[in-house]
Structure 1
Amino acid sequence: MTVLSYIVLGLSLSIPVGPINIEMIKRGIKNGFLNSWLVGLGGMSADVVLMFLIYFGVSTYLTTPIAQLIMWIFGFLILVYLGYESIRDAFKEVKISNEVQKATNSKSYLSGFLIAISNPLNIIFWIGIYGSVLTTTLNSIGTGQALLYSSAIFIGIAVWDLTVATLSNLGRKISNQGFLKWLSVIAGLVLIGFGISFGYKAVKSLYILMG
């Protein structure tokens, strides 16, 4: 695979709508470009952690039944909490301004990181996709080059995150109080929906372990 193909892969992996994209859109319309971008940056930071774990062979331990159960439970708790927080904030007065809201910067980054690092589907996805890509790359080039080449995946992810953050920021100009309220409610329900699906998988995993 060429560097360009890795960039395209990263872009393709980011486009499907998931918890990160939902959170980026919500925060971008509510707080502007920077907060939306920081959510994406937090998500990418979590992806970097996962990439290195897979690169150094830790993925073997992440695929054990106990580890998967813990990931499902963690994902359930994080996403349900973030969804609840989004719905709760929907009923607070929101002021849309051009001022940078520095107080929310670290919170936006942390939200992105926690959503990505606690999403079992994201972890399993990276193990499956990046694991196979890494194996293919190692067979054709050296170890150091494999890490460098595969890091180009994040260029594609960054391009998509910048696109979402930019579009979300532009959406602020046509947003009003009512729109933001329902956006936060819908985003919260979507996050809770993802969380409940993880909780269901956790129950199934626990049932299998106990059976």
Structure 2
Amino acid sequence: MNFQILINGIIIGMSASIPLGPIGILCIQKTINKGHFAGMVAGAGAAFADTFYAVIAGFGVTFITNFIEEQQIYIKIIGGIILLILGYRIFSTNPAIQIRKNRNNNNFLTDFFAIFILTLSNPMTIFFFGAAFAGFGIVREQSNWAELLQLIGGVFLGAAAWWFILTTFVNIFRKKFRLKRLWWINKIAGSLVILFGVFVIISLFFIKF
């Protein structure tokens, strides 16, 4: 095993996850409202989606890359709509009612796939991984399958580690939030996610058809 390649993958995976965008806000909100495990499940959805794009970039699946590039407008439209819907749901959620529901039903699988699909709706991620791999001197033609698998594994570990760190940190202060603060957190988080959705949709007008 080439530990340098694994470490490079971990660094790249964390670098892809650390910027606090709508995914980070959603994971924080779920951790505060539903608990550490819910936040980790949501983060795992993002980590798997990032790893999927890393696989495409690492193994050079050209037809998928071309498809994503050609359909990025529609992918962004879907992503923007999902953000608007999720943002509205968070904004309008009553934390007291949500806490009662969480005690009886925690649909973690839904949270996982919602974040997974939402992360996939950002097609620029694949180009980030392509540039990052090149920046670390990882050339597909000069790397064997074992090295590429180590790299992809490192990306997943790095992304998963970041979401674990973030949700653990948020969970430490979770019990200090009372219902009134949770109400405001939902309003702020929902508003930010809606703004991200609006930004995504507005950005479509700057894409050359």
TM (normalized to structure 1)? 0.83
Cα offset, 1:109, TM superposition? 1.0
CA distance in 2, matches of 1:118, 1:90: 28
Cα offset, 1:3, TM superposition? 1.8
CA distance in 1, matches of 2:47, 2:197: 20
What corresponds to 1:197 in structure 2?
199
Identity, % of aligned positions: 24
Structure 2 residue 123 is the aligned partner of structure 1 residue 117: no
Matches of residues 120-135 of structure 1 in structure 2 within 5 Å? 120-130=123-133, 132=134
What corresponds to 1:26 in structure 2?
29
What corresponds to 1:71 in structure 2?
75
Cα offset, 1:7, TM superposition? 1.3
SS at match of 1:103: coil
What corresponds to 1:104 in structure 2?
107
Give structure 1 stretches of 5+ with no counterpart.
none
SS at match of 2:99: coil
TM (normalized to structure 2)? 0.84
What corresponds to 1:44 in structure 2?
47
CA distance in 2, matches of 1:101, 1:15: 32
Give structure 2 stretches of 5+ with no counterpart.
none
Deviation string 1:110-152 (CA, Å, 9 cap, x unpaired) is 221122012344354345435x369724354313422332321
What corresponds to 1:14 in structure 2?
17
Q: Which stretch shifts more, 43-52 or 138-147?
A: 138-147
RMSD, aligned CA: 2.6
CA distance in 2, matches of 1:171, 1:84: 25
Letter of the structure 2 residue corresponding to residue 162 of structure 1: F
Corresponding pairs, count: 203
Letter of the structure 2 residue corresponding to residue 149 of structure 1: L
